[in-house]
Amino acid sequence: MDDLLESGTTAADRAALADHLRTGLPAEAVLTDPDVTASYAHDMASFCEAGAPAVVVLPRTVEQVQHVMRTATALRVPVVPQGARTGLSGAANASDGCIVLSLVKMDRILEIDPVDRVAVVEPGVVNATLSRAVAERGMYYPPDPSSWETCTIGGNIGTAAGGLCCVKYGVTAEYVLGLDVVLADGRLLSTGRRTAKGVAGYDLTRLFVGSEGSLGVVVRAVLALKPEPPRQLVLAAEFTSASAAGEAVRLIMERGHVPSLMELMDGTTVRAVNAMAHMGLPETTEALLLVAFDTPDPAADLAAVGELCTEAGATEVVPADDAAESEMLMQARRLSLPALEALLGTTMIDDVCVPRARLSDMFEGVEAISAKYDTKIGVCAHAGDGNTHPIVCFDPTEPDEVRRAKAAFDEIMALGLRLGGTITGEHGVGVLKKEWLARELGPVELELQRQVKSVFDPLGLLNPGKLFDGQGGTGR
């Protein structure tokens, strides 16, 4: 049975591939044991197809990555680049017979420069490691996805990851100044800059950010840093509906406030977090809005925002007493997804971002969808960005429940597009939202995107089947 695998690659093919890879990689960096390689098949998305890798490689140098890509091109083998596999769209899932190219061993911080305010890093550096290293130098690397303790900078770049900081500090894309990229054929491209400004030619750097490993393999990044701001202070406001909290967000932004965080948890999410972590969040609330400022006088800003919350119908407004209490509220917000998973079963996580003026419409629409499909949907949101994460919960052993969950998941994206939004604010497309990407982009842009892909990857070897379907070439 091992002679001809499901994937169409034979054991002999696999052995030849591994041998070829070992000519430029140390033995321990080439994994072929199927029990081991299988553990690299998936990221954290549910319900996304994944194949069996032929081999997993763990290079430590740029030259080794070049060798991997030259091998892949020579043998026409698809390559799936991976970081920590914390993604939520299946973008890092293996395809059958592929080389999984894990960058986690390239994890050095090469430089931190407080004058140029840049860090130069390898792709496998964990977000939290970088964040702490720059904080020790009085600086700040803002992008902070919920998985920041484990996710890698390379993965953050691949998905243009967001986080809690974005309402004030923007997403990963805004911090990537320059990249070294190994191209599909093994050539090394240096693009972008380490200067504060630069407009020499087309912005290829930004093209790689969010490209989900489908245009090249990032092997080095120059990242912009900011001076460390004062510690933020958080306020929690309770509302009788998510929609009312959305109205508060509208008022706060309209009045020109610049919060460093503005997050929403609906009642379902709040109760799940309480059940899991006993955090003492208000058990009966229907929506909890967290607003923070890292300004010189955060208490004054919170007081002004508290009044706006009350104007929008908040039933309770509680500023945190100190940094510790603020951190506890942030921690509660970060627990939203694990808590819903622990309490309510398997989840599918939407990532719809709407113009923030339409946030209340979005919340009401999700409630209607939940009722229509008789499906439990917990909602958390980076409310200040209009970026909602309706989390559809279901029992995967009940086929009808699964069917209804999938229908609800899709209808939430349709709603987002109707409200002028996007199907993905920060999680990316992967395999989970391919069909929806085509709907969002429309035929003209989709065709251009495919052609851009062909420029960088004419053989269709890099992460085939992600973002959009088949490129021709040998990608399956």
d(CA 224, CA 175): 5
Per DSSP, helices labelled H in 284-398 are 298-311, 323-334, 336-344, 359-372
For residue 135, the minimal CB distance to a second copy (Å) is: 12
Q: Which of 71, 86, 131, 387 binds a second copy (CB under 8 A)?
A: 387
- Please state, as a whole number, how many other Cβ atoms lie within 10 Å of the Cβ of residue 29: 19
List the interface residues with a second copy, window 335-354 (CB under 8 A).
353-354
Q: Which of residues 123-152 bind a second copy (CB under 8 A)?
A: 138-139
Does 393 bind a second copy (CB under 8 A)? Our answer is no
Those residues whose C-beta lies under 8 Å from the C-beta of residue 324, and which sit 6 or more positions away, are none
Interaction residues for a second copy, span 413-472 (CB under 8 A): 420-429, 437, 440-442, 444-446, 448-449, 451-453, 455-456, 467
Q: How far is the CB of 448 from a second copy (least distance, A)?
A: 7
Closer by beta carbon to a second copy, 14 or else 466: 466
Residues 121, 166, 302, 380: which binds a second copy (CB under 8 A)? 166
Candidates 103-111, 127-135, 232-240, 382-390; binding stretch for a second copy (CB under 8 A)? 382-390
Tokens read off for 305: 């925002």
384 counts as binding a second copy under rule CB under 8 A: yes
Nearer to a second copy, 131 or 285 (CB): 131
Binding to a second copy by CB under 8 A, coded x per residue (else -) over 278-317, reads -----------------xxx--------------------
Q: Which residues pair with 146 in a beta bridge?
A: none
Coil, helix or strand for 376?
strand
Per residue in 57-74, is it b (16+ CB within 10 Å) or e — as a string? bbbbebebbbbbbbbbbe
Overall size of the chain counted in residues: 476
Please classify residue 199 by burial: count the beta carbons closer than 10 Å to its beta carbon, then call 0-12 exposed, 13-18 middle and 19+ buried. Answer: exposed
Region 177-216 residues binding a second copy, contact defined as CB under 8 A: 183, 187-191, 193-204, 206-207, 209-211, 215
- Nearest distance in Å: CB 153, a second copy: 16
Contacts (CB under 8 A) with a second copy, residues 237-256: 250, 253-254, 256
Nearer CB in complex with a second copy: 66/268: 66
Residue 150, judged by CB atoms within 10 A of its CB (0-12, 13-18, 19+), counts as: middle
DSSP state of 165: S
